[in-house]
Chain A
Amino acid sequence: ETGVTQSPTHLIKTRGQQVTLRCSSQSGHNTVSWYQQALGQGPQFIFQYYREEENGRGNFPPRFSGLQFPNYSSELNVNALELDDSALYLCASSLDSASIGETEAFFGQGTRLTVV
C-alpha cells in the first residue's frame, strides 16, 4: 500500500501570492487533516476533510481553504500569503473521522513553504 505523499516538497512564494499544496492520502483512507508546523514548534491543526466535506477547523483565517476530491486526495489553498505563513505544511490521512484514539493518522513528509 502506498503512503501519504505531498507535493511539492519545497516552494518559494512572494507575499500576497496564492499557493496550492497537494496531498494524496494512503490507500483506503477517507479522511485528510492538514497541519502547519512553524520552525521549532509543534504542528498546529488547520482543518480536516472527511468524504469531501470540511469536518472541523482550527484557529486559522478564511484565507486558508481546502478541498477533498472523490479519490480522497486533498488540496490546501492559502490566499494573500504573509511572511508568517512560512512553515512546513503536513498532511495526515486516516481511515475515518472517528476518534483518533481509535485509528492511526499517517503523515506525509510535508511541503516546506517559504514566503519572501
Chain B
Amino acid sequence: GNSVTQMEGPVTLSEEAFLTINCTYTATGYPSLFWYVQYPGEGLQLLLKATKADDKGSNKGFEATYRKETTSFHLEKGSVQVSDSAVYFCALSPMEYGNKLVFGAGTILRVKS
C-alpha cells in the first residue's frame, strides 16, 4: 500500500542552524510528493511539492528533491528562524488515486533564539 515515514521529533535547533527532516515513502509508480506545514492554531498549508522524479520543490527557503531511486523527499533549509517552529508533514498523492493525500505522522520543529 501507500505510506509515508518521516523522522520522529521533536527536532530542536538554534536559530540559523541547518535543517533536515527525512521523509521516505512507499508507493507504486510515481506519486506526487508534498510537504505541508502546520503552525500553532492554524490549518495545514502547502509548503512545497514535486510531481515527478528529480523535481525540486522550493518555497520560503525550504527545498526538497524527489528521489525515485531512494524513494525519499527530504526537507532542507539552510538557516532556520524562530518563526519556522511548526509541525511539518510529508505527504504523497498516489498515482492510482490522485485526489487524496497520504500523510506521514509529522515532525515537530522547535527553533530557539
A binds B: yes
Residue B42 lies at the interface, judged by CB distance under 8 Å to chain A: yes
Report whether B44 and A100 are in contact in the complex, using a CB–CB cutoff of 8 Å.
Answer: no
A-B contacts besides A98-B98, A100-B32, 7 pairs, CB < 8 Å: A42-B103, A50-B99, A92-B44, A99-B32, A101-B49, A109-B41, A109-B42
* A-chain residues with CB within 8 Å of residue B101 when the two chains form the complex: 33, 35, 43, 45, 92, 100, 105
Report whether B43 and A110 are in contact in the complex, using a CB–CB cutoff of 8 Å.
Answer: yes
Residue B80 lies at the interface, judged by CB distance under 8 Å to chain A: no
Report whether B106 and A48 are in contact in the complex, using a CB–CB cutoff of 8 Å.
Answer: no
Nearest chain A CB to B104 CB, angstrom units: 5
Mask, B74-106, CB within 8 Å of A = 1, is 000000000000000101010001111111111
* B-chain residues with CB within 8 Å of residue A105 when the two chains form the complex: 46, 101
Q: Chain B residues in contact with chain A, CB under 8 A?
A: 4, 32, 36, 41-46, 49, 51, 89, 91, 93, 97-106
Q: Which residue of A is nearest B98, CB measured? A: A99
Nearest chain B CB to A68 CB, angstrom units: 14
Residue A65 lies at the interface, judged by CB distance under 8 Å to chain B: no
